[in-house]
Amino acid sequence: METHTIILWVLAAVELVIIVSIFLRYQRTPSIYSLCGLLLGFSLMSFFVGMLMIEISNEARIWIAKAAFFSGGISFISLYAFAIHYPLRTFLKHNFIRFSILVPLILLIPFIFFVPGFLDDIVVQEGNIDIVTGNLFWIFVLFTAVYCLAAIAILIIKIAHTSGEQKKQVGLITLIIGCSGILAVITNQLLPVIGVPFNKVYGPESAGIVSIVIALIAMKK
């Protein structure tokens, strides 16, 4: 088994343990649910990317790669939801929040799994994974960028409306999301478009580690 696969699966397991710990230790609020959604999405993404490197059929690899991207989509939507609810719910109206979370999540399923033009092929050579994206893949790239930027914008607004330790936490989380969100979009979405082998940029690992750091900061009393 590839060392990279083992690393990804260990990271996925660590994120699942943190999710269970959060549910056991903290009151279940919208910010907690969205934080766990962020961790779960990247945990599943790490697991699926790890599966791409084991001996399976190419058709199965394509479906697993789609599942990995869908998991990434879950994380970006959860990140947006977390920004809305942490530490307190934002000024956005409830109906708009529900629409902007549920509708894209539902639409991602047919778009990623069933619409032709999302992924064309998966090529594995000497441990490298080359994801050949389709001509509609740019829509997913735009989607992740919009939700990441929306989360950052909401958190920036919240910095002005918080104080003390909360202000520091929101500011630090905003900085981390800003830097890592750009990195995640580049490594997980843009680089496959130009043919950079997926496992050379270590996107899933960096995204997973960042989600853990965000959780630790958010849960700090």
pTM score, whole prediction: 0.84
Domain housing 113: 3-219
d(CA 15, CA 19): 6
Provide the pLDDT for residue 221: 58
Residue with tokens 């989600």: 211
Average per-residue pLDDT in the chain? 82
d(CA 198, CA 192): 6
User: What is the per-residue pLDDT across 149-193, written as a single tens digit (0 to 9) for each?
Assistant: 898 888 888 887 777 777 888 888 888 888 776 666 666 556 656
User: What is the per-residue pLDDT across 185-196, written as a single tens digit (0 to 9) for each?
Assistant: 666 556 656 666
User: What is the per-residue pLDDT across 43-63, written as a single tens digit (0 to 9) for each?
Assistant: 998 899 888 878 788 888 889
User: What is the per-residue pLDDT across 125-140, written as a single tens digit (0 to 9) for each?
Assistant: 666 667 777 889 889 9
Best CA proximity match to 111, nearest among 149, 81, 143: 143
Provide the pLDDT for residue 192: 59
Q: What is the DSSP letter of 200?
A: G
Provide the pLDDT for residue 112: 93
pLDDT at residue 67 greater than cutoff 80: yes
d(CA 9, CA 108): 24
Residue 118 near residue 135, CB atoms below 8 Å: no
Q: Which long-range contacts (CB under 8 A, 24 or more apart) does 198-204 make?
A: 198/49, 198/52, 198/128, 198/129, 198/130, 198/131, 199/4, 199/49, 199/53, 199/127, 199/128, 199/129, 200/128, 204/8, 204/11, 204/42, 204/45, 204/46, 204/49, 204/68
Number of domains observed in the structure of the chain: 1
Best CA proximity match to 29, nearest among 91, 89, 72, 92: 89
Query: What sign results for the dihedral spanned by CA atoms 14, 19, 23, 27?
Result: positive
Provide the pLDDT for residue 89: 64
Provide the pLDDT for residue 111: 94
- Which CATH number belongs to the domain containing residue 62 in this structure? 1.20.1070.10
